[in-house]
Amino acid sequence: DKVYLGPPRLFQELQDLQKDLAVVEQITLLVSTLHGTYQNLNMAVAQDWCLALQRMMKVKEEEIHSANKCRLRLLLPGKPDKSGRPISVMVVFITPSPLSKICWVNRLHLAKIGLRDENQPGWLCPDEDRKSRAPFWCPILCCHIPAFSSKALDLQLGAAVHNPVHSSLLGFSAVSTSLPQGFLWVGGGQEGAGGQVEIFSLNRSVPRTVKSFPVPAPVLCMEFIPEPHPEDPAEPGASLEPAPNTPHPAVCLGLQDGSLLVYGSVDSGTPCLQRCRLPGSPPILSLRHSPELLLAGLQDGHVAALPRSHEGLWDAGAVRMLRVGPGPVRALLALEESLWASSQNLVSVLGTPELQSQHCFEAHPDPVAAVTLMVRAGSGVWMAFAQGSSIRLFHTETREHLQEINVATRTTLLQPGQKLVHVTSLLLCQGSLWVGTDLGIIVLLPVPRLEGIPKITGKGMVSLNGHAGPVQFLVLALSTLAPDALRAEQDEPNEAEEERSPDPEGLPPREMRKKGILLQYRLRSTAHLPGQLLSVREAAPGTPGTPGHAEEDGSIYELADDPDVWVRNRPCSRDSSRKEISSVAIISGGRGYRDFRAESTRRSGDADSSLLIWQLPLAL
């Protein structure tokens, strides 16, 4: 292994490559004066050498850039000097990759937050589970903030959604401590009055309000619609240029007066791209989208389906109204080839995109227990109901009832005398099912992370931080950090190419071997070039011809410990396995903030709508 000497060594190697390139360019000029024609000594080969050296210089520049990203400086308090003045000691670490530096700083940041009073402890769990937990085994409450900037209005929360947006202005180190990049949209309003939308920036450790605007009626639901994935340019007929009417990321709002509003992203000024009202103006209770349709669950028992328009938005003039049941359609769940829609205690399965009725099944024997929430987990769907404290699991294919969990048995850990508990919100995140209740208590249940039947087997745990009223929503904020900013430049070689089988007995001692570079960029062989092969060896009879002409992938080959094996020095960006790192936060919304510790009396702003934000460690 090479001894890491830092950027000075890399700068010296870069200078050596620059000098070598100048020499090879002179050799190229001399090769152009040859009178004969030779397969392995001609202008094509010489130019290939130049390309290879230029590629190596680019790789070296990236290594220098990466080395600066791997430097970690800590300022530690030292012993005071003789006069009593405090002295600080600067300690510098070099991490193996930028990725490891970001993860290390993120763990340090969460460890500091974990020392706050609200996280000591932050969760109540069985003793046997606590003993086997690893560090950072539970989400860390990083902050609780007001949901609306206006204090004059008594605004009730309705819904929230995360709009991921990668910020190019965010510093490399700031990524380690910030929340998932993007914006959090929070909507609500007053009963019988107007609504309000608050937009928070998450590009820092604490959310910051960036915009607030009114809407005609209270916001009941939201849906973020991402930009469609571009087609693979390698496929026939695929265009590299986006279509002029390609849909851009948008946030859809469903209002109490039956209005549907579509807004553009914050970085484009949050324009209102579309405003329409559905037939009959029923309140819009739920929103979901598919590549072809925008689906809305309505108060009158219908599902409205709006197709894509030519402008990339939604065609309100071609809306289809499908009757699902007599009760409100409170929950919609979009699967691969179907849509689940709930009405009272029944769930209808509609095929997409035609929306033909495929199946209808009873999710609860009590007609009063209307299905209010549906969350997919692997091959199952968890459902919550308007009555009772239980959640139920159903199979996505057979619709078979698989499991029932009573959440009240968990909430009694904090409020022993409380019997009536209703589930008001559900969220699945990284192997945990988050359950919000009307008591303001949040329960975390373990769910298998493998694709399969997601039955709950553990006892789960209860958050000691919650709301003074019902948990109106639980929202996942997830962003993937840019791979090019996090790419490890010191990756191990992952491929080898043998020119011939080595003779173990004839190998020189390891210390006698000398490493070298095979200057090979695009030419896999020179057999296709005209002229004779310059070599002192005669070709063995019956030896198969060298491979035909094929373009290489632009990699440089380096001589490994075995002198007859050339290994790829650095994989090409298009065929290397990109490492992605995910930043995750969970946001809950409800009335006020409440500390459920027995010795605590902290209750802040019981009448105000608040947001609680939990952060999870960065994950690969």
* Confidence category of residue 90, pLDDT binned at 50, 70, 90: confident
Contact 345, 338 (CB under 8 A): no
153-177 pLDDT per residue, tens: 788 999 999 998 876 556 666 777 8
The pLDDT assigned to 524 comes to 59
* Confidence category of residue 69, pLDDT binned at 50, 70, 90: confident
234-273 pLDDT per residue, tens: 344 444 444 555 567 889 999 999 999 999 877 667 889 9
How far, CA to CA in Å, does 381 sit from each of 395, 404, 443, 474?
6, 12, 18, 17
CATH assignment, 117-132+141-228+247-483+580-615: 2.130.10.10
Give the H/E segment covering residue 104.
Answer: helix 98-114
Question: Taking residues 294-298, what's their average pLDDT?
Answer: 94
The pLDDT assigned to 348 comes to 93
The pLDDT assigned to 94 comes to 80
* Confidence category of residue 353, pLDDT binned at 50, 70, 90: confident
The pLDDT assigned to 85 comes to 87
Question: Taking residues 78-82, what's their average pLDDT?
Answer: 84
Domain boundaries, the chain: 117-132+141-228+247-483+580-615
The pLDDT assigned to 193 comes to 82
Statement: residue 379 has pLDDT above 50: yes
Q: Is 212 exposed, middle or buried (0-12, 13-18, 19+ CB in 10 A)?
A: middle
Contacts 24+ apart (CB under 8 A), 432-438: 433/375, 433/377, 433/382, 434/474, 434/586, 435/384, 435/391, 435/407, 436/470, 436/471, 436/472, 436/473, 436/474, 436/588, 436/590, 437/389, 437/407, 437/411, 437/470, 437/471, 438/469, 438/470, 438/471
Which residues does residue 406 pair with via DSSP β-bridges, in sequence order?
390
| 344 half-sphere exposure, CB direction, 13 A CA radius | 14
Residue owning tokens 């790419």: 487
Whole-angstrom Cα distance, residue 187 to residue 504?
Answer: 71
The pLDDT assigned to 161 comes to 96
Question: Taking residues 497-505, what's their average pLDDT?
Answer: 36
Which residues does residue 73 pair with via DSSP β-bridges, in sequence order?
92
Q: Who has greater pLDDT, 380 or 192? A: 380
449-458 pLDDT per residue, tens: 666 678 887 7
